[in-house]
Amino acid sequence: MSSAQNVTDTVQDGAWKRQGNRFTDRISRESTSAPGEGPDENGRWPVEPGRYRLVVSLACPWAHRSVIVRRLLGLEDAISLAVVDPVRDERGWRFTLDPDGTDPVLGIKFLSEAYLATDPQYEGRVTVPAIVDTVSGLVVTNDYPQITLDLSTEWVDFHADGAPELIPTDREEMDRLIEEVYTDVNNGVYRCGFARGQEAYEAAYDALFARLDVLEERLADREYLLGDTLREVDIRLFTTLVRFDAVYHGHFKCNRNKLTELPNLWAYARRLYQLPHFGETVDFDQIKRHYYVTHTDINPNGIVPKGPNPEVWLSAAG
């Protein structure tokens, strides 16, 4: 297995920093491994339908991306799906939504079991999404930014007819947008919510809303971020926007504006929500229970807000 720096989330000068991804192997058409074998010398596992299991939480925006992309590309039969309980305790992500609290394919009760089978010395936070090899029980990857890209580029032989091309031929503009959206928005809301100092919080807050203002202006004359075609970057922004008013506005103190008060972004988010495989993969109950119950340092009483009303997502989007 290839490795990345094994770290946990850190705080320096009040600023929160996300841990790195420990497992960064890839499933690739260029793998020299035979079916059923492990990774080749370059950490590339063979593309093999029916072999791998994608483990997600419906509450997690990083995992939600992979759920949407998997369905958009028609890979449901090629890659199976496991859904963990949205409430994560000190033992990590649990398969308590399954009978007997055990994943029926992997035969484990906690995702941490697969992590420790792969790296017995692992001490970082167990994260989703993760792709687990059902043959060996080992984690192939928890590299969430790469997972969805590889679903588009490495699994093309198993895409459904008419599957969208989520990655443009010329990726330069999209990759730049992906980086900006990740830094200031996707990860920015966490940098606000988990900051441990006023100055660090305000810096993350200012960067978040400065980027949202840029995106609001960008969407004034286009349907999607790159024009009239749905791309990977839209999915990455959507999974943060759909959680914004329900969680990040209050729970993470991202309260300059609600999403509903940013007209272009709000219309854009509703258009995406109403597309196939977007809104139907959103579970507001699991989203709210995860954040408000799991983050006891932020919400010690564990009270889950009753609102906002999810029906507003079905209103006309323009």
80-134 per-position pLDDT tens digit: 999 999 999 888 999 999 999 999 999 999 999 999 999 999 999 999 999 999 9
Q: What's 56-103 look like in SS3? A: ECCCCHHHHHHHHHHHHCCCCCCCEEEECCCCCECCECECCCCHHHCC
Residues spanned by CATH 1.20.1050.10 within the chain? 172-276
Q: Give CA–CA dist 170/173, Å, rounded.
A: 8
pLDDT per residue over 141-175, tens digit each?
Answer: 999 999 999 999 999 999 999 999 999 999 999 99
The pLDDT value given to residue 204 = 98
Residue 247, pLDDT score: 98
Q: Is it the case that residue 4 has pLDDT exceeding 80?
A: no
Per-residue pLDDT, 202: 98
Q: Check pLDDT > 80 for residue 2.
A: no
Cis before 308? omega within 30: yes
Residues of the chain with CATH 3.40.30.10: 10-158
Instruction: Tally the C-alpha atoms within 13 A of residue 292's C-alpha that lie toward its C-beta.
Output: 20
**Is it the case that residue 7 has pLDDT exceeding 50?**
no
Mean pLDDT of 198-204: 97
* Secondary structure (3-state) at 306: coil
Distance CA 18, CA 60 (A): 15
Question: Phi-psi region for residue 251, left (φ > 0), alpha (ψ -120 to 50) or beta?
Answer: alpha
Does residue 190 carry a catalytic annotation? yes
Structure confidence at residue 238 as a pLDDT band (50, 70, 90): very high
Three-state DSSP class for 168? coil
Residue range 55-66, pLDDT digits in tens: 999 999 999 999
Average pLDDT over residues 249-258: 98
pLDDT at position 12 is 85
Task: Identify the three-state secondary structure at position 224.
Answer: strand
- Catalytic choice (52, 115, 144, 190): 190
- 60 part of the active site: yes
Integer Cα distance of 219 and 228 in angstroms: 11
pLDDT above 60 for 3: no
The beta strands (E) that lie in 103-239 are given as 130-133, 139-141
Q: What is the third-level CATH fold of 172-276?
A: Glutathione S-transferase Yfyf (Class Pi); Chain A, domain 2 (1.20.1050)
At residue 40, does pLDDT exceed 80? yes
The residues, any chain, with a CB within 8 Å of residue 74's CB and separated by 6 or more, are: 158, 159, 160, 161, 163
Residue pair 232/149 in contact (Cβ under 8 Å)? The answer is yes
Residue type (1 letter), 318: G
pLDDT at 6 over 60: no
Give the per-residue pLDDT at 8.
Answer: 65
Q: Exposure of 100 by Cβ count < 10 A (0-12 exposed, 13-18 middle, 19+ buried)? A: exposed
52, 60, 205, 248: the catalytic one is 60
Strand partners, 15: 12
Looking at every residue in the chain, the average pLDDT score rounds to: 95
Checking if the pLDDT of 11 tops 90, the result is no
Question: Is there a contact between 211 and 180 (Cβ–Cβ < 8 Å)?
Answer: yes
pLDDT reading at 33 higher than 80: yes
Give the CATH fold of the 10-158 domain: Glutaredoxin (3.40.30)
Tokens of 48: 């093999």
**Burial of 257: CB neighbours in 10 Å, binned 0-12, 13-18, 19+:** middle
Where does the pLDDT of residue 1 fall: very low under 50, low under 70, confident under 90, or very high at 90 and above?
very low
Degrees, nearest 5: CA angle 60-66-68: 95
Residues 55, 129: contact at Cβ < 8 Å? Answer: yes
Using DSSP bridges, classify how beta strands 26-28 and 44-46 pair: parallel, antiparallel or unpaired.
Answer: parallel
Question: 10 Å Cβ neighbour count for 221?
Answer: 8
Higher pLDDT, 212 or 19: 212
Structure tokens that stand for 139 in this block: 């984690």
Give the torsion through C-alpha atoms of 191, 194, 200, 204, to 10 deg.
30
pLDDT tens digits for 276-303?
999 999 999 999 999 999 999 999 999 9
Distance between first and last Cα of the chain: 48
**Sole residue written with tokens 């202006």:** 217
